[in-house]
Structure 1
Amino acid sequence: MNAPTPTGPTGTDIATLVQDDRVDVSLYTDPHLFELEMDRIFNRTWVWVAHESEVPNAGDFKTAMVGRQPVIVTRDRRGGINVLLNRCRHRGASVCEAPRGHANGFTCPYHAWSYALDGKLRGIPYPDGYGDDLEKKDFPLHRLKVDSYAGMVFASFDHEVQPLADFLGPARHWMDLFMKQGAGYPIKVQGEHTFRFKGNWKIQLENTTDGYHFPIVHRSWMSSVDAETAEMLSFMTDEKAVTHALGNGHSVMVMVPEHVDLDQDDGTEQLQERFGHIVEELSREFAPEKVRRIVRSLHGAGFNLNLFPNVAMSMSFFRVLRPVSVTETEIRHMALGLDGGPEIVNRERLRIHEHFQGPFGFGSPDDSEAWDRVQRGATAGPGLPIMVNRGLPRERHEGDGRVSHATDETGMREAYAMWKAMMTDGR
């Protein structure tokens, strides 16, 4: 028997809601579509949950969300990473409320069922009440399928999901390049902050590879930085600043072409004067080429990588989105540093992060205001589409996907093509 055709608002065929150059505004506003997204996207594909640096040692854990379902990410005694549904198998209470920490296991506060770091049920108080009707091995915490690449940990409720390597595809190359900002050190998460905006999650998904908005929305930030930084990010007319569609909804936007591969340095780039004190301190310990390598990477990689559906590896930070409702989204900005690297460098990276992404920075408030306005505007003219046609005439096929200028909407078209594929698969 054929599966029923998925439908959107007023019975519309979902396949008609996404065209090559436009999407229906109901993708931002329809609660029915949102519920389908939670099932057909967030419950069926790979969703980013952690960076390995967040759970470095046995017993370390953090709590996270996969769609709207709470999970615990743990490092067990054998060194493996587990992603466990944060729900006791007895009466359904959460077994962990701390955002992160270190533990020997997890005990439900309601009836004290206790679980190991890998989710196995270890103990039940007063087990006689169950007689022979309960076997501990049959009631572990629910485990998600887990895999990782380049230190990025992903989980899926679908244990038959395609291999992570296949899902990431050409994006793996860009993930490898992104991690080179460690300048020989591993990358670590060194802080984060969380906020919400009154808008649909796909509005933020679009933003990461939308170079068109940058000099408009972020005028205040551009006027607040030194001339060298402003010049570095003046990519609007740079022919080498491009966006690649990488397949499976992923895309990358190159903003600073000379910083795409930070291992490559022709020696002509002048180090910014603002980092003179860092050069001076590092020069006491490191050779000149090592100092130069570290300082060139202070702003991170020269690109934003969008991994469908919920994480961006954006220059020097991770941006994680979590759908809360059809009209509300939670965002986490995670600052990155060098694990074992010079403290002066990690402090400077935090200051750079705070200046743009921080809660009192210039970038995040401007972005979130724009996202709010898109959602508010989406309630007007419900028959008018959202246009994603910029750059279509100059888009070309190259290598592993489509390529166009960094100000074009190639990344959005890629994300919506994946949205359409997952929402209409009929399962």
Structure 2
Amino acid sequence: MCSQETYHPLTFAPKVDRLVQADRVDGSMYYDPDLFEAELERIFYKTWVWVAHESEVRNAGDFKTTRIGRQPLIVVRDKTGTIRVLENRCRHRGATVCEKQKGNATGFTCPYHSWSYGLDGKLRAFPYPDGYEDILDKQELPLRSLRVESYAGMVFASFNQDVEPLTDFLGEAKHWIDLFMKQGAGYPIKTQGEHKFRFQGNWKIQLENTTDGYHFPIVHKSWMSSVDEETSEMLSFMTDEKAVTHALGNGHSVMVMVPEHVDLDQDDGSEPLQERFSHIVEALSKDYPPEQVRRIVRSLHGAGFNLNLFPNVAMSMAFFRVLHPVSATETEIRHIALGMDGGPEIANRERLRIHEHFQGPFGFGSPDDAEAWERVQRGSLAGKDVPILVNRGLNREVEAPNGDKVSHATDEGGMREAYRMWKRMMSDE
């Protein structure tokens, strides 16, 4: 469905005010193609976007290809150890210089005319240089670089060279990132592989989902029935007063589902280890002291919360969920499993099995989520004057001393925070 409105800068702000209100958003937010194009320009090409975890490009020459919006990129560690994010576009005729998803290389060469670039993006050579005498300077034609900054192993990039420092953008979310990384049980976090899929729906539908606790026992009823009673009880947070959502500012939010696992370094020893992990306890006890065994096993499910970082990555219990907007009505999702870098292999295998059971392509969680997202997309086309409500919990939302807006984990405070940031960025002239 095509929009009847265009988004010229001089008339844009009033439309944004109509589209996003304090307790509701307009259904066209999910399907308007003109609005989608404006989102790419004003959000994805202007702010910090997550592109990699440092463990994905561990050594010099390690690279992965990705994109921000529609623009293809290469994330690579150069010979000096610096992580760079380069536009995946030859400066000659525009062909991509790398098509592999990941690997290790000494440089990148365009397959069309063999222009070759170093890991730092500098143009190294091109064939038959006599045709370029006095008209081309290699130093003037590197692969273009994005601004890059990292926090706690999370690598972000921006096309906007004047974007605010990453630490300012993350703000209150930094505290929760630090807590999330404690699931390594004393080891650094590493990625363990991923799977990728697309759903027929707008990117903001998925953005809303990560801190939407209201849907969990309904959409994921089949998963709840497939796990042992201890796991099911651990994630029964609907009436737990300690299960809360924090709106963290700048579009970020966190939903606490397992309060006793928010800080995995805090353990009074009273929580029994799950019986399902008894074989892991037995195996680890041969090589590790009891307190380390306990720390590893308590961390198998990851952190006790979902952290949503606007606009494109969720640090969700024990995995990263990354969204790539494809069009107004299509989104690509990557689910990246996490493990302990240097930790016991038996524990990392168990973390993969847990990941597969919920997030995997044959798991119980992701297919149910994707079905719900697509039904929201289809339903948004009916009743053009009927708003999408994000008002749950407004009657009990309170402000914490640090400025966080706090409500229950089943409330929609995380969605309201994301849309406040959306509105701010889309209204910025």
TM range (shorter): over 0.9
TM-score by length of 2: 0.97
Partner-residue secondary structure (3-state), 1:370 = helix
Q: List runs of 5+ in structure 2 lacking aligned partners.
A: 1-7
Matched, 1:411 2:414: yes
What is the Cα deviation at residue 6 of structure 1? Answer: 4.3
Amino acid at match of 2:147: K
Who is 1:288 aligned against?
290
Residue 7 of structure 1 deviates from its aligned partner by 2.9
- The aligned counterpart of 2:233 is 231
Sort the Cα spacing of 1:6 and 1:70 in 2 relative to 1 into closer, same or farther, 3 A. Answer: farther
Task: Please report how far the alpha carbon of residue 4 of structure 1 lies from its aligned counterpart in structure 2 after TM superposition.
Answer: 4.0
- Give the aligned residue type for 1:355: H
Matching residue within 146, 153, 156 for 1:154: 156
- Report the Cα distance in structure 2 between the residues aligned to 1:40 and 1:248, rounded to whole angstroms: 14
Matched, 1:299 2:301: yes
Matched, 1:35 2:37: yes
Whole-Å Cα distance in 2 between the matches of residues 33 and 391 of structure 1? 28
- Residues 1:207 and 2:212 are matched in the alignment: no
* 3-state secondary structure, aligned to 1:7: helix
The residue identity in structure 2 corresponding to 1:205 is L
Matches within 5 A, 1:23-62: 23-62=25-64
In structure 1, the partner of 2:168 is 166
In the alignment, what sits opposite 1:185?
187
**Residue in structure 2 matched with residue 254 of structure 1 by the alignment:** 256
**Aligned residue number for residue 7 of structure 1:** 12
Amino acid at match of 2:221: R
Equivalent in 386, 389, 399 of residue 388 of structure 2: 386
Given that 1:42 and 1:66 are in contact with CA atoms closer than 8 Å, whether structure 2 keeps it comes out as yes
* Gaps in structure 1 of 5+ consecutive residues: none
- Match of 2:10, SS? coil
Deviation at 1:15, TM superposition (A): 2.1
Classify the secondary structure of the residue corresponding to 2:12: coil
Once residues 417 and 6 of structure 1 are traced to their aligned partners in structure 2, the CA distance between those partners, rounded to angstroms, is: 19
| CA deviation vs aligned residue, 1:270-319 (integer Å, no higher than 9, x gap) | 00000000000000001100000000000000000000000000000000
The question of 1:242 aligning with 2:247 is answered no
CA deviations over 1:332-362 (Å, ceiling 9, x no partner): 0000001111000000000000000000000
Q: Work out the CA distance in 1 between the residues paired with 2:103 and 2:246.
A: 38
- Aligned to 1:13, the other structure's residue is in SS state helix
- Aligned alpha-carbon RMSD (Å): 0.9
**Matched AA of 2:184:** G
State the alpha-carbon separation in 2 of the partners of residues 400 and 186 from structure 1. Answer: 31
Amino acid in structure 2 at the alignment position of 1:79: G
Q: TM-score scaled to structure 1, two decimals?
A: 0.98
Equivalent-residue separation in structure 2 for 1:167 and 1:7 (angstroms): 24
SS for the counterpart of 1:271 is: coil
